[in-house]
Chains A and B, each alone.
Chain A
Amino acid sequence: MIAAKNTSWLAGIPAGWKFGTLLAVSISLYLISSWQVLLALLILSAATLASARVDFKQLRMPLLTLVVILGVVLILLGVQTGWLNAAISVLRLLAMCLFAYSVSLTTSFDAMLELFQNVASPLRVLGANPAQIALALSMAIRFIPELKRVYLEVREAQHARGLGNNPLAVSVPLVIRSLKIADETAEALDARGYDSAPAPRNQR
């Protein structure tokens, strides 16, 4: 769920503000137990999402999953503790998720990642290295298509041997090839003198 060129009013607000507001709204949603207020908030959340002018194709699967889970919750809670209680829980969750979608779909991935890095920056005191974190995140993104390709290749190869559905026959080569890719990449980085060690004296 990424904001793909979103131009709504929400896209202009800094990610930090949206995230902070979402956090505050989520907490207050748990403090509210009147179904009328929650229903009003749900309508507000739906209106927010609608005003964000998002691509609803992106939302179809997540919403479907959410509705299924909430349906189960509604029935279980309804039978156990009464239907009013169940309705309150479901309204609250639905409102919260719609607000969360509104934030996610109007914030670019870069902005979100930058926000996380800012939030995590106090970890520097504990010895975490921001350069290393940034390298790990960007490299992970870069490797996802490659690992997906490897996974599909391995599965196809094992399928040809009649082992396509054998999780062991697929996982062992996948893990070994992942390790090989990691070794090769690390060697390539070392050979090019890439140094992400934290000590400043390494810079010449």
Chain B
Amino acid sequence: MSTTTAPSQTRNTVYVAVFAAMIAAMGLVPPITLGVIPVPITLQTLGVMLAGAMLGPWRGALASLIVVVLSVAGLPLLAGGRGGLGVLLGPTGGYLVGWFFGSLVIGALFKYWVIRLQSKPLQLVAGLVSTILGGIVVIYLFGVPWTAVVTGLDLKTSLVGSFAFLPGDLLKAVVATLVALTVHRSYRGLLK
């Protein structure tokens, strides 16, 4: 973020703050029930994926971090109105820690790989690989062992338990990729 043509530091800070607010807003609004699948999903992790895919590694990761910091400090921003120190210490705290790294990985992959590809289908595949890797693999990499350590469950059970969220998360990865690529087409230069 220190290149000469990069947007000003103030602009970067504003982007981070607005996307943090967007992630928070996605958790506050009552979940959407998808037509076919009768499972209510909140869009909060979609926001985490989008922050990385739209803003790049550092700004995206900081946006996710701000949401976690504000929630842990006490604002009820997480899905279901949760907040406070308990969310970090509790069984699902690892997923929150994973947000930062998830956005970071997605942002890096989008900035240095996905956006530079020439053909649209290739971009789509690369984007999907990036959002799944950062938004699911990386986040679960923190969440699953955390749950295991905190609860005393073994890793395998903890992993199997996390699979309950896998369909929703996969769907979010698809949506995040499509949204990011669509918006990048009209909003060029965000990842310069």
- Across the interface, A151 reaches (CB within 8 A) one of B26, B70, B76, B176, namely B26
Interface residues in B143-192 by Cβ distance below 8 A to A read 150-154, 157, 161, 171-172, 175-176, 178-180, 182-183, 186-187, 190
Residues A93 and B84 in contact in the complex (CB < 8 Å), given A132-B9, A182-B14: no
B187 contacts across to A, CB distance below 8 A: 176, 179
Q: Are B90 and A93 in contact (CB under 8 A)?
A: yes
Contact of B153 among A65, A73, A179 (CB under 8 A): A73
Contact partners of B186 in chain A: CB under 8 A: 176
Docked complex Cα distance between A65 and B84 (Å)? 14
Q: Are B29 and A77 closer than 8 Å at their CB atoms?
A: no
Q: Which chain B positions have C-beta within 8 A of A105?
A: 84
**Residue-by-residue, is A89-133 near B (CB-CB < 8 Å gives 1, otherwise 0)?**
100010011001101110101001100100000000000010010
Write the nearest CB–CB distance from A49 to chain B, whole angstroms.
11
Interface of A is mostly: helix
The answer to whether B21 touches A73, judged by C-beta atoms less than 8 angstroms apart, is: no
A148 touches B29 (CB 8 A): yes
Nearest chain B CB to A166's CB is how many angstroms away?
8
- A48–B43 Cα distance when bound, in Å, is 35
Choose the segment among B31-39, B103-111, B119-127, B129-137 that binds chain A (4+ C-beta atoms closer than 8 Å). B31-39
- Complex-state Cα separation, A141 to B23, whole angstroms: 12
Q: Residue A144 at the B interface, CB < 8 A? A: yes
| Cβ–Cβ contact A3 & B153, under 8 A | no
Cα–Cα distance between A135 and B88 once the two chains are bound (Å): 24
Chain A residues contacting B35 (CB-CB under 8 Å) are 165
Chain A residues, CB < 8 A from B182: 172
Assembled-state Cα–Cα distance A64/B90 (Å): 13
Tell me if B6 is interfacial: C-beta within 8 Å of chain A. no
Q: Are B17's CB and A140's CB within 8 A?
A: yes
> Taking the complex as formed, is A157 at the interface, i.e. its CB lies under 8 A from any CB of chain B?
no
From B11, B86, B171, contact of A101 by CB (8 A): B86
Q: Is B91 within 8 A of A93, CB to CB?
A: yes
Known: A109-B75, A116-B69. A147 touches B175 (CB 8 A): no
Using known A-B contacts A112-B73, A150-B25, determine if residue A77 contacts B82 with beta carbons closer than 8 Å: no
Query: Can you name 22 A-B residue pairings with CB atoms under 8 Å?
Result: A1-B82, A73-B152, A76-B157, A85-B152, A97-B89, A105-B84, A136-B20, A136-B66, A137-B70, A139-B13, A140-B17, A140-B24, A143-B17, A144-B21, A147-B21, A165-B32, A165-B33, A165-B34, A170-B32, A171-B50, A174-B22, A189-B10
Closest 5 interchain pairs by CB? Answer: A104-B84, A143-B21, A139-B17, A1-B84, A147-B25
